[in-house]
Homo-oligomer: A and B are copies of this chain.
Amino acid sequence: MFVSVSRLRIEVGRSDELVAAFRQRAGLVESHEGFVDLQVWRSDRDPAEVLMVSRWRDKDDFREYMRSSDHQVSHDRMDPLLRRAVKLERLESMHTYEVMAE
C-alpha cells in the first residue's frame, strides 16, 4: 500500500479552522480508483503541525488523483485566507509493510 504524508504548518490559532475545513471538504477523493483512506493528524506538542495522511492501493492511483480535476476542485474551494495561512513543509511518499492484520 502507498502512503502520502503532507506535513503542513498552520499559523498559530488557526489549527482548528484547518481541521474543520478538512471535515467540510467536498469528499471527491473517495470515489477515486485505489483510494483507501484519509486522516488528519495533529501534533500533541505543536498544534501548528498538521499532517494529512492518505493511503492508496499503489502510487499510480495517487498520481492519477493528483492529476484529476477533482483534486484541483478540492484545492480551489478552500478559503483563500486559510490557504495563505498554511504552508506545506514536506511531502513524503512511503510504502506500508503490514505487520498485523487490521
Query: Chain A interface (Cβ within 8 Å of chain B)?
Result: 3, 19, 22-23, 25, 27, 30, 37-45, 51, 59, 92-100, 102
Cβ-closest chain B residue relative to A95: B42
Interface secondary structure of A, over-half rule: strand
Whether B40 pairs with A97 at a CB distance below 8 angstroms is yes
A8 CA / B95 CA spacing, docked (Å):
15
Which residues of B have CB within 8 Å of A94?
41-44, 51
Q: Which 6 A-B pairs have the closest CB atoms?
A: A41-B94, A40-B97, A44-B93, A22-B99, A37-B102, A19-B97
Which residues of B have CB within 8 Å of A100?
27, 30, 37-38
Which residues of B have CB within 8 Å of A39?
96-99
Q: Point out the residue from B25, B45, B95 that lies within 8 Å of A41, measured CB to CB.
A: B95
